[in-house]
Structure 1
């Protein structure tokens, strides 16, 4: 088998249980910011496993307008959602509000007996994230954290190649994710992503979590210690990190070196280097992931049709619910990232290497 054959011989949806399901999972979308309206809503409208049952927003006008545009059954205020209004119209809840408010919406969803897909980062602190996981565990409802890279075919193929020994013994991971938050997200300097109380941080918790978590997924390993530095020279980043660089040691002996920025040229990359080869994703985290494999003097690009990462993520979640199987990554998986993030922030403050809580 040639290197080209090795790279191309991989199904797009290796996780799929039923290719043509008889029913769909109805979602309540909580938080109608740009990501939900521009990325998630189109993905669900294109899905054969999911549909929109309810739209939940702090703005009644926005919820009603989007209900009319999408054909959703209900438009709910946050208060109505917490009161359980319209809960018969949805089976699962997607939470995409500011980080510091995830807990309250997940607790309500759990009380209503609804499966939960919660955006990452889970919350603003380990303590609140632990409460979030406990709420779902106590209610017996499935909880998945929205790491969309886990269902990207190129990332999944990268993971399989590492498992199959393509790079030999993995030695080093390098990752980066940068954007100009004022151009890619919002020009508003008062946006919640720059509010420490609502976001819990910025460059690391919003962007750096991508290479961190992708390293965990591809290596099937967990961090044991971390060291990091942050800088915030821009006037609007006074309370949160504008740039971050961090190094993480994993329990399999591999080291990851990563950088992230909320105020830099947009771009992302991710690579795993081993004793016999290298696998690289470039671009990595902004909707298209191209995989290149190197071994000796041979270099081959893995050609995969670009996928809608949000649709893949929601379809996977629905596939698991319809099949009665637990979805991954679950809440405990997300907690590991929250503990690593706190360790990196602590290291940035103290200048010392910090153990990641187990």
Structure 2
């Protein structure tokens, strides 16, 4: 069986903790190159995983010009996503890019254009689109199990380490971009619609928080078509929580845990006085999304969470930031997307303890 060869671009925590271990679980993917700013760490990771090629960032174009990889996984700070993805796409390499896809609408559009011009696929790394519990929840809502979904509420939080690059304003870091995007993306697919207005408030803590360059927390309200409302809080200053609740005209569903990749998704559906609970199997989210993307490449089938999916979230994220900065509601104008996660995208793959953290 042919395997898609990946070059990991940015060998930081998420690559080491999740992507690199997951590749070996896929069956249709392999890691053949590492691009990193630390030659020492890259060499250790390459030896551990049996990766033949190591490149510096200055050698990135050299890597793209050589026949060592079919695709790149871009796990760099947000502000670097567009540059490295566009260069890969123009070289004919498929690109799996961590979210948020980029920092501006123009960057997202340039990434999409590069993919269209070369024919290489651009996929935004929405791992939950391949996770069985998330997809089942969406399909049960679409089937009418809770009636018409009217409200969405979520909290995603943890206490961030002060040296985390996600706290750097220059990288477009912050709780909204890092974890709030999961809440936003969930609401969009639960309502099968795009938000039309954003209101938001930021908090910089009480002076003792670890967060310095970015806000500690952000509270967001989104208005959707047909009078639907979504609210969520994303925070780097509160103990770990990741849950969301959907209220419909005939019932409700709560996912708790709902977002993190380290824990199995657990859901509680309720219709009147009747409630049912279901815990889904623990699956490797990163292996699942990588296997799915490789299947898309192997079968010449464009991925569902493409550049347009990433652009839709970035457009909303930017409106939320403007709302928080100005104190005024901000309009959002995004065309409705006709595709959403479906059961054929689910990939259930075992987790592994084989990883090296540096």
**Equivalent in 322, 340, 357 of residue 346 of structure 1:** 322
| CA apart distance, 1:122 | 1.1
**Equivalent in 274, 299, 303 of residue 275 of structure 2:** 299
Aligned residues: 330
> Is the aligned partner of 1:27 residue 2:6?
yes
1:60-139 correspondence to structure 2 within 5 Å: 60-84=39-63, 87-139=66-118
**Equivalent in 243, 250, 258 of residue 276 of structure 1:** 250
1:197 equivalent in structure 2: 170
Q: Is the 8 A contact 1:93 1:116 kept in 2?
A: yes
> Is the aligned partner of 1:325 residue 2:301?
yes
2:134 equivalent in structure 1: 155
What CA deviation, in whole Å up to 9, does each residue of 1:37-59 have, x standing for no partner?
A: 11111111222111101111011
> Is the partner of 2:20 in helix, strand or coil?
helix
1:201-240 correspondence to structure 2 within 5 Å: 201-233=173-205, 234=207, 236-240=210-214
Q: Is the 8 A contact 1:280 1:292 kept in 2?
A: yes
1:244 equivalent in structure 2: 218
| CA apart distance, 1:289 | 1.3
Q: Is the 8 A contact 2:78 2:173 kept in 1?
A: no
Q: Is the 8 A contact 1:84 1:112 kept in 2?
A: no
Cα distance in 2 for partners of 1:236, 1:267 equals 18
Cα distance in 2 for partners of 1:286, 1:84 equals 32
1:46 equivalent in structure 2: 25
| CA apart distance, 1:136 | 1.9
> Is the partner of 1:88 in helix, strand or coil?
coil
What CA deviation, in whole Å up to 9, does each residue of 1:156-214 have, x standing for no partner?
A: 000000110001011101111001111xxxxxx3432111111x140111111111101
| CA apart distance, 1:138 | 2.3
> Is the partner of 2:219 in helix, strand or coil?
strand
| CA apart distance, 1:291 | 1.6
Q: Is the 8 A contact 1:246 1:257 kept in 2?
A: yes
> Is the partner of 2:257 in helix, strand or coil?
coil
Cα distance in 1 for partners of 2:65, 2:122 equals 21
Cα distance in 1 for partners of 2:66, 2:193 equals 38
Q: 1:330 to 1:252 in 2, by over 3 A?
A: farther
| CA apart distance, 1:75 | 1.0
Q: 1:86 to 1:45 in 2, by over 3 A?
A: farther
1:258 equivalent in structure 2: 232
Cα distance in 2 for partners of 1:244, 1:87 equals 44
Cα distance in 1 for partners of 2:164, 2:68 equals 32
What CA deviation, in whole Å up to 9, does each residue of 1:305-324 have, x standing for no partner?
A: 11111111111111111111
Q: Is the 8 A contact 1:204 1:241 kept in 2?
A: no
Q: Is the 8 A contact 1:247 1:257 kept in 2?
A: yes
Structural RMSD (CA): 1.5
TM-score, length-scaled by structure 2: 0.89
Cα distance in 2 for partners of 1:357, 1:174 equals 22
**5+ residue gaps in structure 1?**
1-21, 183-188
2:289 equivalent in structure 1: 313
| CA apart distance, 1:127 | 2.6
1:138-177 correspondence to structure 2 within 5 Å: 138-177=117-156
| CA apart distance, 1:61 | 1.5
> Is the partner of 1:89 in helix, strand or coil?
coil
2:356 equivalent in structure 1: none
Cα distance in 2 for partners of 1:48, 1:252 equals 44
Cα distance in 1 for partners of 2:228, 2:48 equals 48
